[in-house]
Structure 1
Amino acid sequence: MRIAVEDLHVALAGRTVVAGVHLVAEEGEIAGLVGPNGSGKSTLLRTVYRHLKPRAGRVLLDGGDLADLTPARSARHIAALPQERGGDFELTARQMVALGRIPYQRAFAADSTEDRAVVASALERVGMTADAERRFADLSGGERQRVLLARALAQQPDVLVLDEPTNHLDVRHQVELLALLRAQRTTTLVALHDLNAAASVCDRLHVLRRGAVVASGKPREILTPELLADVFGVRAAVVDHPLTGDPLIAFDHRGPATPL
């Protein structure tokens, strides 16, 4: 499904955090949100998965207003992996992933054979099958992250909304997660701090600054030294990755380009 944000305005505690944002993720496309801390990425995503209500504007799913759907119907279409993650659950990893099947179940209904198969598949896809019976609270930060991604996958959504999904993951699991996103080709909105990861995995990037989109396009088109200096305040060269050919940003760590 195609997801589009139209003229979105979001305010928190009376302060405008997202101002007039327009962006789109076409069906099967991975659209990345990048920008400095405080640029509105998380707030925008929280509005897309209906944790926040916008002051103005709309989120459209295949042309229909997402606000017109019931929460249960919305959860069949959009699954989220937010930054806020609880750790005091007594549930096992498998039980956490099974929560992703709730939008498909009637009240108090037991898990079906299909539900159990979907949960098992999701655990396998994130490499957590062997840890399925461990308590979620006992898992490491990276293991919890993979379990919560599996929960989102278990919803079998049309759209994935991921806020910094590589946080807490070691290098290997970061690579595996990004490869998983590329392979499944579910329409995805993802916020990433790692610009090189964003350049590698995303079909389209939307660059945010102070709550507004200042550039959109293919990574190779918009990740220029000039934009990196202007938006992120860093000096950098953009070259071809020697293994993949993707844009590779080489930062000058000796000092910033301009004060932010």
Structure 2
Amino acid sequence: MRAGRRAGAAVLPEGAGAEDGPGERRLRIDIEDLNVAYAGRMVVAGAHLIAAAGEITGLVGPNGSGKSTLLRTVYRHLRPVAGRVLLQGTDIRELSPARSARHIAALPQERGEDFELTVREVVAMGRTPYKRAFAGEDAADRDMVARALADVGMANHSACRFTELSGGERQRVLLARAFAQAADVLVLDEPTNHLDIRHQVELLALLRGRRRTTLVSLHDLNAAASVCDRLHVLHEGRVVASGAPRDVLRPALLAEVFGVRAAVVEHPLTGDPLIAFDHREGP
């Protein structure tokens, strides 16, 4: 057996970049004993977690808890000191960059917001992993780009310059680029940043409707409770709790990890856990 692959691991599909039917190309992410250092400091220590196939898995925790660092390791921006990230049983470091990009699409926090490109050109960058050098767009590429722009409500802005957009509009365009990549796994670092309430709600509904394997960090605990199938709570670089949102988001954990006093009740419209914070007192 190869060192980077577990016994019985599934063979990764090559991926043609097209949307698949329900249940197809849903791959699982396993993070095993991950240690990641950044700027000479151990930021993630011994992290072990799962993003199940076809589910939305959330990372929550205070600022500096290691969420972004862990996600950067999943989409290969950082190399771990120890441990590994497995995609359907295969160490992602065994994959070529192009092959990895066909399977994992990322929306990082470091946005690269000075693109001198049109909105459509930015979204079309998501098709790059499927193209040979100097190859032009084909009909399938154009369809994927148009669909991604429509999904995020930016179809009418396709000819605009990316630099002319508001922060929220840029966020939606970069999310469309990730959608156009048609990867098996979405890795999203604070995707609701800069979005108004309406677009936050639409984005979360869109993620649930797609049912791609999704690993997402969120600051908004109520958003995490409503959209995620499973949560992992990070605190000082370690995973301190994992499970369904209603099992994880307890008043004692909120006080210990986030330093807030809160009650957890049932959302009157959805039945999801709803966190009511006490803004007058500490924990």
Per the normalisation by structure 1, the TM-score is 0.98
Q: Determine if the alignment matches structure 1 residue 82 to structure 2 residue 108.
A: yes
Q: Quick one: which amino acid aligns to residue 121 of structure 1?
A: R
CA distance in 2, matches of 1:3, 1:149: 20
**2:197 alignment counterpart:** 171
CA distance in 2, matches of 1:222, 1:170: 27
**1:103 alignment counterpart:** 129
Residue 12 of structure 1, CA deviation: 1.1
Q: Determine if the alignment matches structure 1 residue 202 to structure 2 residue 228.
A: yes
**2:14 alignment counterpart:** none
1:103-124 Cα distance to aligned partner (Å, 9 max, x none): 0000011111111110001001
Q: Determine if the alignment matches structure 1 residue 61 to structure 2 residue 63.
A: no
Q: Determine if the alignment matches structure 1 residue 243 to structure 2 residue 269.
A: yes
CA distance in 1, matches of 2:178, 2:98: 14
Q: Quick one: which amino acid aligns to residue 26 of structure 1?
A: A
CA distance in 2, matches of 1:146, 1:181: 13
2:119 alignment partner, one of 86, 89, 93: 93
Residue 208 of structure 1, CA deviation: 0.2
Identity of aligned residues (%): 75
Q: Quick one: which amino acid aligns to residue 96 of structure 1?
A: V
CA distance in 1, matches of 2:28, 2:115: 34
**1:139 alignment counterpart:** 165
Q: Quick one: which amino acid aligns to residue 243 of structure 1?
A: L
Question: Match of 2:265, SS?
Answer: strand
CA distance in 1, matches of 2:39, 2:224: 30
1:71 alignment partner, one of 97, 100, 116: 97
Task: Please give the residue correspondences for 1:13-32 in structure 2 after superposition, counting only pairs within 5 Å.
Answer: 13-32=39-58
1:80-133 Cα distance to aligned partner (Å, 9 max, x none): 000111222110000000000000000011111111110001001111000011
**2:138 alignment counterpart:** 112
CA distance in 2, matches of 1:17, 1:174: 29
CA distance in 2, matches of 1:200, 1:210: 25
Question: Match of 1:109, SS?
Answer: coil
1:47 alignment partner, one of 68, 73, 76: 73
Residue 69 of structure 1, CA deviation: 0.1
Question: Match of 2:175, SS?
Answer: helix
Moved over 3 A (4+): none
1:158 alignment partner, one of 165, 170, 184: 184
RMSD (Å), alpha carbons: 0.5
Aligned residues: 257
CA distance in 1, matches of 2:177, 2:164: 17
Q: Determine if the alignment matches structure 1 residue 193 to structure 2 residue 223.
A: no
Q: Quick one: which amino acid aligns to residue 30 of structure 2?
A: A
Residue 17 of structure 1, CA deviation: 0.2
CA distance in 2, matches of 1:11, 1:84: 18
CA distance in 2, matches of 1:217, 1:47: 22
CA distance in 1, matches of 2:72, 2:114: 22
Per the normalisation by structure 2, the TM-score is 0.90
Point out where structure 2 has 5 or more consecutive residues left out of the alignment: 1-26
CA distance in 1, matches of 2:103, 2:113: 26
Question: Match of 1:114, SS?
Answer: helix
CA distance in 1, matches of 2:224, 2:140: 34
Q: Determine if the alignment matches structure 1 residue 5 to structure 2 residue 31.
A: yes
Question: Match of 1:227, SS?
Answer: helix
